[in-house]
Copies of this chain bind each other. A is one copy, B any other.
Amino acid sequence: MTLAAYSQPRTVACRPSPECFQTSFTDAPIAIRGCVRTTLALRHAGVRSVEIAYELVGPANAPVVLAAGGISAHRHAVASDAFPEAGWWQTQSGVGLDTTRVRLLAIDWLGADGQLDVPVDSADQADAIAAVLDALSIEKLAAFVGSSYGAMVGLHFCARHPRRVCKLVAISGAHRSHPYASAWRALQRQAVALGQLQCDESQGLALARQLAMLSYRTPEEFAERFADAPTVSNGRVRVAAEDYLEHCAATWVARTSPTAFLRLSESIDLHAIDPRTVPVPTTVVAITEDRLVPLEDMFALAEALPRSEIRVLRSKFGHDAFLTETREIGNILEHALHGVCGGVA
């Protein structure tokens, strides 16, 4: 194992993305995209040479906040002048995540490019983030804000690199994957495998995504949105939610590698950490209606963490509340990030 390579990650050109090193020098916050090439000792796959793509948006010298979302999230969290398309956490831009006051850092998950076809652990992701901080000469994060899988990675980051982060916000992600949620994901992976058998990955992937969406949302939301009676067309019954689910899945399939999905889905199920090993002050955010991460697990996390507070929200959007309950999440972020590292106003 080449520890030297790990300790000195290099900033390189991403492949195949042409966007690397684009930088904005307008009045708007500076936005930088890049890649870090390094060597990581993966827990289940040995030493590997990897590339980690990142995006950093905000004023130079401002405190750095890392934002990490679910397995479908990526380095483009919020829009900027340089990269104006909506990011995966666009809803929070300026609402708890203000890129005029902080530098917002996000990465593409290890394995998200579909090139790394081995089991990836949430702890591996934490080390990948540390390598990015090394490459960017960022000594310490003001905060690590993780939602869903990002919260799992955040717990590992704080346990493994506690001196590199002042504060953790862990939204809808716990110290373990719940066994029922793991079974739900295993069936999504089976759907992909079934599609692959016929050399048409997209249909299996689309079914997997629809199954995932059911787990992200709630009966309360579906009762409101999809109350119409089913239709019988060409002798087949079609229920009210199918158009919506299929449309969302098609959009997702178009930008998702089956290998990446399988490996990141597995990674959630591999996740496990003893909360007592996380010394960083943590705000735990739980959603009462979350069908993937039961409230009980979030309470157990908060109780076992050495330094924690818990905030509980009600939301008909369940696990997806971090993408939809903008005001409540914004309030929690503002409160949690206030004054951390003496930097975030």
Residues of B near A118 (CB, < 8 A) are 235
Known contacts A232-B44, A237-B270, A270-B237; is-contact A222 B119 (Cβ 8 Å): no
Question: Which of these, B183, B229, B245, contacts A239 with CB under 8 Å?
Answer: B183
B194, A241: Cβ atoms closer than 8 Å: no
B207, A194: Cβ atoms closer than 8 Å: yes
Minimal beta-carbon separation of A199 from chain B (angstroms): 9
Closest-by-CB residue of B relative to A227 is B179
For chain A residues 184-239, which have a beta carbon within 8 Å of chain B? 184-187, 190-191, 194-195, 197-198, 200, 203-204, 207, 210-211, 214, 217-219, 222-223, 225-227, 229-230, 232, 235-239
Residues of B near A242 (CB, < 8 A) are 183, 186
Residues of B near A230 (CB, < 8 A) are 182, 266, 269-270
Closest-by-CB residue of B relative to A118 is B235
What separation, in Å, do the CA atoms of A44 and B186 have in the docked complex? 36
What separation, in Å, do the CA atoms of A74 and B229 have in the docked complex? 27
A204, B194: Cβ atoms closer than 8 Å: yes
Minimal beta-carbon separation of A341 from chain B (angstroms): 35
What separation, in Å, do the CA atoms of A186 and B210 have in the docked complex? 10
What separation, in Å, do the CA atoms of A190 and B219 have in the docked complex? 20
Known contacts A242-B186, A266-B236, A270-B230; is-contact A219 B119 (Cβ 8 Å): no
What separation, in Å, do the CA atoms of A207 and B194 have in the docked complex? 9
Minimal beta-carbon separation of A127 from chain B (angstroms): 18
Residues of B near A184 (CB, < 8 A) are 214
For chain A residues 45-71, which have a beta carbon within 8 Å of chain B? 45
Interface residue A154 (Cβ < 8 Å from any Cβ of B): no
A239, B185: Cβ atoms closer than 8 Å: yes
Minimal beta-carbon separation of A226 from chain B (angstroms): 4
Residues of B near A241 (CB, < 8 A) are 179-180, 182-183, 186
- The chain A residues found within 8 Å of chain B, CB to CB, are 44-45, 118-119, 178-187, 190-191, 194-195, 197-198, 200, 203-204, 207, 210-211, 214, 217-219, 222-223, 225-227, 229-230, 232, 235-242, 245, 266, 269-270, 272, 294
Q: Which 3 A-B pairs have the closest CB atoms?
A: A180-B219, A237-B266, A180-B222
Query: Given known contacts A181-B219, A182-B241, A230-B269, what 18 new A-B pairs fall within 8 Å (CB)?
Result: A45-B235, A179-B222, A179-B239, A179-B240, A179-B241, A180-B214, A180-B218, A180-B222, A182-B239, A183-B222, A183-B226, A184-B214, A186-B241, A186-B245, A187-B210, A219-B294, A232-B270, A237-B269
